[in-house]
Copies of this chain bind each other. A is one copy, B any other.
Amino acid sequence: MSVRPVPVTAFEPGKGLLPELQRLIQRSVIPYQYEILNDGIPGVEKSHALENLRLAARKMQGGEIAKDAFYGMVFQDSDLAKWLEAACYSLAFCPDAELEGKIDSVIDLLEQAQGEDGYLNSYFTVKEPERRWTNLQEAHELYCAGHLIEAACAHYEVTGSARLLQIMERNADCIYRHFMEECPHGYSGHPEIELALLRLYQATGKEKYLELSRHFLEVRGEAPNYFIEEKKVRGWNVWGTDGNDAQDTDYTQSTKPVREQTEAVGHAVRAVYLYTAMADLAAQTGDERLKTACEALWNSITRRKMYVTGGIGSTVLGEAFTVDYDLPNDTVYAETCASIGLIFFARQMLRLTEKGEYADVMERALYNTVLGGMQLDGKRFFYVNPLEVTPGISGKAVTQRHVLPQRPQWYACACCPPNVARLLSSLGSYAYTQGDNTLYAHLYLGGTVKTGWGYSLTCETEYPFRGEVKYTFHGEASAALAFRIPGWSEKTALTLNGKAIDLSDAGKTGYAKLSGAFHEGDEIVLTLDLTPRKVYSSPKVPADTGKVAFQRGPLIYCAEGVDNGGEVLALSVDKSGEPVDAGQAKDLGLPMLEVPGWRAKDQEELYSFRRPERKVVKLRLIPYYAWGNRGLNQMRVWLPEE
């Protein structure tokens, strides 16, 4: 298969919600996160990520460093790696000498912190030098390496400099030697290295990285289970006795060999990072059994274990998937990183099969859970993305301590914020893939994409708020263009220079195709149907029975107290009513929906034989991603319908 994402450098953001967010990331989030990683913002949870690296660098240069000078999680390096990757992407569309200087100084540190053998990890270098590779289940050593490799590929792709790439090639060679020779049954408790090595293979063309990635995927889940065997001999724990036990092989997706896995299980982020690598390898090698496994896993997630917001992972216990149709809205986990990983997985699935469903899910996760993971100003983040919040219960009840009703600034475990930054700053390569001479447009991302075929395409749109998406062709070329027709768009129109294109074939794949000779200034206008819609879940989902949600285009909506004069819990929706567009939400400037319904009067008794009296009201709904930006509020995505 030759379909692959366009390079990040091929896309120049234009106007619209997502390009504005890309600029917010560049202008505000990346500098702000650097300050946090550098412990420069008072009152924010300490990161120490840069300082850990400085300590490692000093130690490798012969300095005396106390072991306990290291601070933070065993995977603290990965926060910095993700930031570095995001920073490199942002350089692609907005050169910034100061940022380049910061990037170079981090690369200097990485160079200094690397061992002669290529080993590079601040936790092990500073704190546990004798324990390298002895706790693959918990210690995130290969995970951190994977993130640094991704950063190196991004740096190389954007700047053309191979400096960081070479550092990480040395590191990958170190890993290769250890795992292909000395420890052939080992693999990472937290997948990431697998997808990173495939990327390194793409960047360098060196087969050994493909080989090592395939090796890691293939030894996973072999009997006897590596993590169980490792635990018998390793003699140390990262997490103390509270850690996830090696016996819970589902948690690490190591119960079965990957080609035999059919059900999404365990830690949700780990799962989708693994499946991303599996799909990538299947796309690169044509491995049909791997592809079949990926399809089964995709269906397991998206047909039985995914929230309507594109969130995945139903429980805080192991930050994990549970069982089919168990999708509680209030005790939910739905980690921001898990939806980011689902987007990675979707992008790889799009390489395997031309199927709009994959991009539909990508968009669902992106516009709802991922955007919702960040405050509108980019300064605060959610790790957990609930679909129902009741201040007084959420964040308070022992079962909901993890469900915060407002975004914190930073976390001790800060995986999500820089992950949002790296995804949003590289969105161009999610919006478009190319292959078989066809340019696929998956997202409707304002801006210009340059192809390797002598033409570029400019997209102008106010999507997702308006349904018109105008593409202008630049160049003179014979081209094949494929535009995604979302599953949710009931009445879609496509015109080329004003002439309607027949879409009757688009239903099969979810893509409308145009091919032939195109000319400078040709206009392709896609008109998507953004009629606000009610959404119903399968009656198999206990949490959503009798309830309705709302969607307009890719956006899921929710009700917040501030727009509804008080408790959202007292609201119900009229089953005979339909949602309509209704002005701007107070203090948000975002379009609302209105739907007829009722507000139940409060009752004094806990239980009563009288149905609470109802007052006719219009419920007001805002895009889910904007919830929690206006103080403490009750919030609900799923509302009772009567």
Instruction: List the interface of chain A (C-beta within 8 A of B).
Output: 241, 302-304, 306, 308, 314-315, 317-318, 320, 322-326, 328, 330-331, 388, 390, 392-393, 396-400, 488, 490, 533-542, 545-549, 551, 567, 569-570, 572, 575, 600, 602-612, 639-642
Contact = CB atoms under 8 A, between A and B. Distances in A.
A569 B547 contact: no
B388 A542 contact: yes
Contacts of A304: 606
Given A388-B542, A536-B612, A546-B547, A399 B602 contact: no
B303 A606 contact: yes
9 contacts: A325-B390, A388-B542, A536-B610, A537-B608, A540-B567, A545-B569, A545-B640, A547-B640, A549-B607
B545 A315 contact: no
A547 B642 CA distance: 10
Given A539-B603, A542-B569, A546-B572, A533 B609 contact: yes
Contact of A606 (B390, B541, B551): B541
A357 to B, nearest CB: 11
Contacts of A306: 606
A608 B535 contact: yes
Contacts of A392: 323-325
A596 to B, nearest CB: 14
A615 to B, nearest CB: 12
Contact of A397 (B323, B396, B567, B604): B323
Contact of A302 (B547, B567, B570, B606): B606
A542 B393 contact: yes
Q: Which of A399, A541, A570, A600 has the most C-beta atoms of chain B within 10 angstroms of its own C-beta?
A: A399
A297 to B, nearest CB: 15
A570 B545 CA distance: 7
Given A304-B606, A331-B331, A539-B570, 5 more contacts: A241-B241, A306-B606, A314-B399, A540-B569, A546-B639
Contact of A331 (B308, B399, B610): B399
Contacts of A549: 607
Contacts of A325: 390, 392-393
Q: Which of A400, A609, A612 has the most C-beta atoms of chain B within 10 angstroms of its own C-beta?
A: A609
Q: Which of A322, A390, A603, A606 has the most C-beta atoms of chain B within 10 angstroms of its own C-beta?
A: A606
> 3 tightest CB-CB pairs across the interface, nearest first?
A546-B640, A322-B397, A539-B570
A533 to B, nearest CB: 5
Contacts of A400: 326
A322 B398 CA distance: 7
Q: Which of A314, A607, A609 has the most C-beta atoms of chain B within 10 angstroms of its own C-beta?
A: A607
A538 B602 contact: yes
A538 B605 contact: yes
A495 B519 CA distance: 97
Nearest to A325: B393
B611 A538 contact: no
Contact of A326 (B393, B540, B569, B572): B393
Contacts of A542: 330, 388, 390, 393, 569
A398 to B, nearest CB: 5
A603 B536 contact: yes
A548 B607 CA distance: 10
A558 to B, nearest CB: 14
A607 B330 contact: no
Contacts of A322: 393, 396-399
